[in-house]
A and B are shown apart, each in its own frame.
Chain A
């Protein structure tokens, strides 16, 4: 029999995995272009609402909606990149922050207009309901599914970045943008594709998040804070860093809520501030 601390650890890791899927795209695009995209979670919310609508109103299977959430968020992000983001790559932090906060504000209002301000309910398929008993711990099936998906995403990302031609281009552009351009890599296109993939992952994360944390129009802002914490703690452009930071933040958040409920979210903010003061470029950051 295992003591309950392992149950907390398991929930924390599952939550961390969810946060990882939500945030890894932002980490890579920030490392690549230094573009502060505070609208990242708006794309996640798009994926979430798409899944909720398809499952609840059109009786789609939950599994079938997940790829669609990915594609929808990726497509939307391409449009935004073309129209807005592209013009601000060379602008200061402040302009980027303002533009993307503006987009996030608009997304909140549109979501409230279309779906109301209530939490969206979702019916998960029977396969993912219930729990498995393992050495006296009851492990939620949905959480196991989350961990599995996050592991698949991590493997795909690592393989994609380390062993493919496109991955090599991305790494080169992160390391030295001008040099990469000089070698004939189309940095802008590389960035656009990476950006779309990252936002698509956010959309997937948004769809997966409904069961765990719910979905309402404020999702864009509530999870933005978590995502930013993970990105800045993990270090820009580092997949391993994002994974480590996501698990760290996920576990400390769940443990904080379990053991010190009166502190609220105090613990994770404290973890972030302390880590940033100790290592300004994050745990795995290079700059």
Chain B
């Protein structure tokens, strides 16, 4: 045990942030509930875990570094197609597929991060949108490789660790997605509570001032963007592996918009914002699409308007405000 007086105040602050609270532990225990309570909905639960991982990756750049991206699905799609093609042409072992997808998406993220880190505001939004649309058009026109609008055919995934087959009920799929989500959540949690995470928040709050106090803002943004791209690629690869298919939808603008909606709904700049947002969004979509699929976006639109007008920090922001007011009394 190190005596407290040798630890500096910033370190103490970071340590206090990274302490696990009872709510967090309860949340992760609750993610195991679908195995017992809703065994028929494990495929949906697996989709939720994948989407949550995707939202988590966007949270790193949008919520923490303040880089608004309308094209994040590009990396999700790159990961999805990479995993699919890898299983088709090399072998179907899932873990190595994940790594390949992460590597490719990370490389794409690293390459584009040199563009991203130079711009802000509308130009940045337009550039991310443009790059995302470019990726979509590439996937669409490379019909010989990706199958275009028909989707990628012939994806065959081997059993996980050679033992657990991807079954129809999604038992393996959910365990696998949840485990990967939890692993990356731990990594992300460590990351945002590190000095690097603090620097990212500094960039979000004041881009001009950070270089003035000696922080290499652009390098930080590049790093964060690359990491976010790799994690998004892993989420995409998970989707391909658990559904044994990759569709053009995985790289579309719609997916970029959806993940943005989820993150903001849950609360950007909080680790659990993306997770809560993904859970609510996916369950609501599952329920509403059953009734009238074409009007699902009506409710999403209304939800967005309400969140922006009434809950500027998302559901978690609203809750923590209520909680703060309640505990002060």
Contact = CB atoms under 8 A, between A and B. Distances in A.
Given A102-B303, A105-B300, A232-B126, 12 more contacts: A30-B122, A94-B62, A95-B312, A98-B304, A101-B301, A109-B295, A110-B298, A229-B126, A269-B133, A272-B130, A273-B130, A276-B127
Interface residues of B, number: 42
Contact of B300 (A102, A228, A262, A273): A102
Contacts of B70: 97
A185 interface: no
A101 B304 contact: yes
Interface residues of A, number: 45
Contacts of B303: 102
Interface in B134-151: 134, 137-138, 140-141
A180 interface: no
A154 interface: no
Top 7 nearest A-B pairs by Cβ distance?
A102-B304, A105-B301, A109-B298, A106-B301, A232-B126, A266-B137, A102-B301
Interface of B: 62, 68, 70, 115, 118-119, 121-123, 125-127, 129-131, 133-134, 137-138, 140-141, 253, 257, 260-261, 264, 268, 294-298, 300-305, 307-309, 312
A105 B123 contact: no
Interface of A: 30, 34, 36, 84, 87-88, 91, 93-95, 97-99, 101-110, 112-113, 117, 221, 225, 228-229, 232, 236, 262-266, 269-270, 272-273, 276-277, 280-281
A265 B137 contact: yes
Chain A binding surface, main DSSP class = helix
Contacts of B115: 277
A280 B119 contact: yes
Contacts of B68: 93-94, 97
B114 to A, nearest CB: 10
Given A93-B68, A108-B297, A266 B126 contact: no
Contacts of A225: 129, 133, 253
A105 B304 contact: yes
Interface centre among A113, A263, A266 (most CB of B within 10 A): A266
A116 to B, nearest CB: 10
B305 A99 contact: yes
A229 to B, nearest CB: 7
Nearest to B260: A98
A221 B261 CA distance: 16
Contacts of A110: 298
Contacts of B296: 109
Contacts of A103: 301, 305
